[in-house]
Structure 1
Amino acid sequence: MSNVPVGYKQTDVGVIPEDWELKSLRDICWVNQGLQISIQNRLKTSSLNTKLYITIQFLNDGKKAEYIDTYSQSVCCDENDILMTRTGNTGIVISGVNGVFHNNFFKINYDKKQVTKDFFIYYLSLNKTQKLILDKAGTSTIPDLNHNDFYAIPIPLPPTLTEQTAIATALSDVDALLNQLDKLIAKKRDIKQATMQQLLTGKKRLAGFGDGKGYKQTEVGEIPEDWILRAIGDVVSFSGGAQPPRSTFIFTPREGYIRLIQIRDYKSDNYETYIPVQFARKTCTKDEIMIGRYGPPIFQILSGIEGAYNVALIKATPSNALNNKYLY
């Protein structure tokens, strides 16, 4: 007996509505790479014939704008185009920019009779699609997605552009709601930070503590007179991580293996990696404090995952004189 609901069909990507069609990206788009320009040939100011040079560094870090004056139309994009990183941080989807794009990008030229821009962007950004992109890009030091691997990615398409637009609109509404929630969370986070600043520096004392006590001047400013000023190295030990061979990596749990913790794992479980227990040189519990060595942002304070941690992380262990939660 089939478990496929009425009105649906089984495909290589799972169950989809029976009037949807499963295609590959090869059927609906074609891509071209951008332009590699040496640093010495990039301009610091714009003029009549220059265009903005779009790089990952500029988009991510707010790097000062650079311009170029020699280019072909094939490497130009405008606000209506879709770009995707093909190497390094592979799979980042970008739109709404105008200029000349770097060689690290694909420009995705899509058939507007088959797929709408917004539906396509949402599908490329889907966690399942992103994982497929990363798998195809490989696990080398610098992942690189080639044209044919990109074209082989499957995409289930609703039969009409109208339905695609409706789906994208619904997802856009969810994005708007999440944006409002993010703003509310950010506001509450600011309140928490202000409270932490007051309590952790002794500017404000909790009821029942420090009654009748004054303050004293130290090299870090005023602190309660009954507090002690110590160097963090006197009360905390630090231990850097270890990097096992990539050849030992697997991506599903297995007996005899332990999770390899990387900075990105504290944001998402989409890219879980496991290594043989015998390669786990540095380990941590979910309650221990971890510090991200690399960014952005650098020096992230992290916790909540148990496993073996890699070289991008440092474990901070307090002495008996310091409470672990207070240190965090």
Structure 2
Amino acid sequence: MVNSKTIPEGYKLTDVGVIPKDWSVRSFGEIFTFLSTGSNSRSDLSQSGDIKYIHYGDIHTKWRNILDCKKDTLPYISSEKVKNLPFIEEGDLVLADASEDYENIGISVEVINVGDDRIVAGLHTILLRGDKDIVTDGFKGYLHSINTVKSSLRRISTGISVYGISKKNLADVLIPLPTLPEQKEIAKHLSDIKTLIETLEELLEKKNNIKQGIMQELLSGKKRLKGFTKDWEDGILGDYVTIRSGESPSKFKFNNNGIPYYKVEQLNNSGKYQVETPYFIECNNAIPKGSIIFPKRGASILLNKVRILSKDSYMDTNLMTLTTNKELNNEFLYYFIKFIELWRIADTTSIPQINNKHILPLKIKVPPLLEQVKIAQILSDMDSEIIFLKKRLEKYKAVEAGVMHDLLNGKVRLV
């Protein structure tokens, strides 16, 4: 219970807790009109047509808070299948009423830049049209991120493996609402941060696409580096590498130090170089530092988790290593395998797996060693730039989350 003496000046105690004095508390039912939605599955959708369709799965996976019809792509549906549904208007809120995970219960998007598009809300969604005298455009998409709203959405959800929300229960959920001027300022502030994040995401995608194109040209020999004219050798990988597989962890006693021992799961938490592991063993036949390590069995093959050992190491039976001879640069091999992708090498008829028979005859075009090094360095520099952009993006997303929390919950005021 909140003691009135602990309420900060300029704030008040309400049914949703302590909020700024000039804020109000309204329910979804007071703010929004609930409109009809469709029930069509993905099989009814296509890439062209006359009416656009918002599927709840896309709310979970494609958009954050705002659906911009000028930028974002929507599937289509035949008008015959949604003939009685209302078309979405500028600023409408579409809430996903089903979620397979607890975190995203009640996630929603506000639809902007509708223009002349004819759009309907579909399967497992609730379409909400707000009273513009109570809630402003640009602010509605952030309502589900307010702490008390998020808690209420979780509380009213039902189900075990899939959490669902009913219109009746949603109508009673209370929302702490800033004044309209403050809503507009909050929306503008969050929109500016969102634009910055989207710009970085677009730049990152562009850099990745450029890198893929350059990898194809450099690793195939279609583009030669200046100063190199000697022909490349057409070889098979088995002539350039030593293949090693690991042993079961049951054969070892794990220590606090010693030779790093890797399981497939450790490949999840590293970049190009494999460093972190909680497991260490005593071992006389460690895999040399610089060897290429990757999964040889299971779904991780499909994720193309290729790494370079940063130390002499060992691993379990689900991993394979390739140690290069003096004719093949290990970093050149790393980029070669990353480019051709593990799943293209593997037997994927049942459980994906890679064995010696897949590696030994694998064709590879081998440049002179110095050219290999130069190619690897160019791609490594591109990786460094991409990693820098990823870290910068993560930083801005963290800033966005912090700013959103403070503004939507009245911790920081803009008016």
Q: Residue 13 of structure 1: CA displacement? A: 4.4
Q: 2:125 maps to which residue?
A: 105
Aligned partner (choices 196, 209, 213) of residue 177 of structure 1:
196
Deviations 1:179-230 (A, max 9, x none): 22333433444566567778988999xxxxxxxx9843246xxx7xx97368
Q: 2:8 maps to which residue?
A: 5
Q: Specify every segment of 5 or more residues in structure 2 that has no aligned partner in the other structure, as ranges.
A: 63-71, 224-229, 249-262, 275-293, 307-316, 325-329, 339-415
Q: 2:233 maps to which residue?
A: 216
TM-score (norm 2): 0.45
Secondary structure of 1:69 counterpart:
helix
Q: Provide closer, same or farther for how the CA distance between residues 38 and 166 of structure 1 changes in structure 2, counting only shifts above 3 A.
A: closer
Q: Distance in 1 between matches of 2:43 and 2:213?
A: 45
Letter in 2 for 1:21: S
Secondary structure of 2:98 counterpart:
coil
Q: 2:34 maps to which residue?
A: 31
Q: Residue 28 of structure 1: CA displacement? A: 1.6
Q: Residue 88 of structure 1: CA displacement? A: 4.2
Deviations 1:55-77 (A, max 9, x none): 34688596862212365655432
1:95 and 2:147 are equivalent in the alignment: no
Q: 1:257 maps to which residue?
A: none
1:136–1:145 Cα contact (<8 Å) kept = yes
Deviations 1:136-159 (A, max 9, x none): 43453333211233224331112x
Q: 1:150 maps to which residue?
A: 170
Aligned partner (choices 67, 72, 79) of residue 68 of structure 1:
79
Q: Provide closer, same or farther for how the CA distance between residues 183 and 37 of structure 1 changes in structure 2, counting only shifts above 3 A.
A: closer
Secondary structure of 1:6 counterpart:
coil
RMSD of aligned C-alpha atoms? 5.2
Higher strand share: 1
Q: Residue 172 of structure 1: CA displacement? A: 1.2
2:264–2:318 Cα contact (<8 Å) kept = no
Q: 2:378 maps to which residue?
A: none
TM-score (norm 1): 0.55
Q: 1:82 maps to which residue?
A: 93
Q: Residue 7 of structure 1: CA displacement? A: 1.2
Q: Residue 168 of structure 1: CA displacement? A: 1.0
Count of residue pairs the alignment pairs up: 254
Q: Distance in 2 between matches of 1:166 and 1:156?
A: 16
2:54–2:75 Cα contact (<8 Å) kept = no
Q: Specify every segment of 5 or more residues in structure 1 that has no aligned partner in the other structure, as ranges.
A: 205-212, 240-281, 304-314
Q: Distance in 2 between matches of 1:131 and 1:228?
A: 58
Secondary structure of 2:141 counterpart:
helix
Q: Residue 318 of structure 1: CA displacement? A: 4.0
2:45–2:75 Cα contact (<8 Å) kept = no
Higher helix share: 2
1:123 and 2:143 are equivalent in the alignment: yes
Q: Distance in 1 between matches of 2:41 and 2:182?
A: 44
Q: Residue 106 of structure 1: CA displacement? A: 0.7
Q: Distance in 2 between matches of 1:93 and 1:75?
A: 17
Letter in 2 for 1:228: Y
Structure number with higher relative contact order (C-alpha < 8 Å, ≥ 6 residues apart): 2
Q: Provide closer, same or farther for how the CA distance between residues 319 and 37 of structure 1 changes in structure 2, counting only shifts above 3 A.
A: closer
Q: Residue 81 of structure 1: CA displacement? A: 2.2
Q: Distance in 1 between matches of 2:221 and 2:320?
A: 20
Letter in 1 for 2:176: P
Q: Provide closer, same or farther for how the CA distance between residues 140 and 316 of structure 1 changes in structure 2, counting only shifts above 3 A.
A: farther
Q: Distance in 2 between matches of 1:85 and 1:32?
A: 14
Q: Residue 115 of structure 1: CA displacement? A: 1.0
Q: Distance in 2 between matches of 1:121 and 1:71?
A: 25
Letter in 2 for 1:105: T
Q: 2:55 maps to which residue?
A: 55
Deviations 1:217-244 (A, max 9, x none): 246xxx7xx97368xxx7578x9xxxxx
Secondary structure of 2:22 counterpart:
coil
Q: Residue 80 of structure 1: CA displacement? A: 3.7
Secondary structure of 1:107 counterpart:
strand
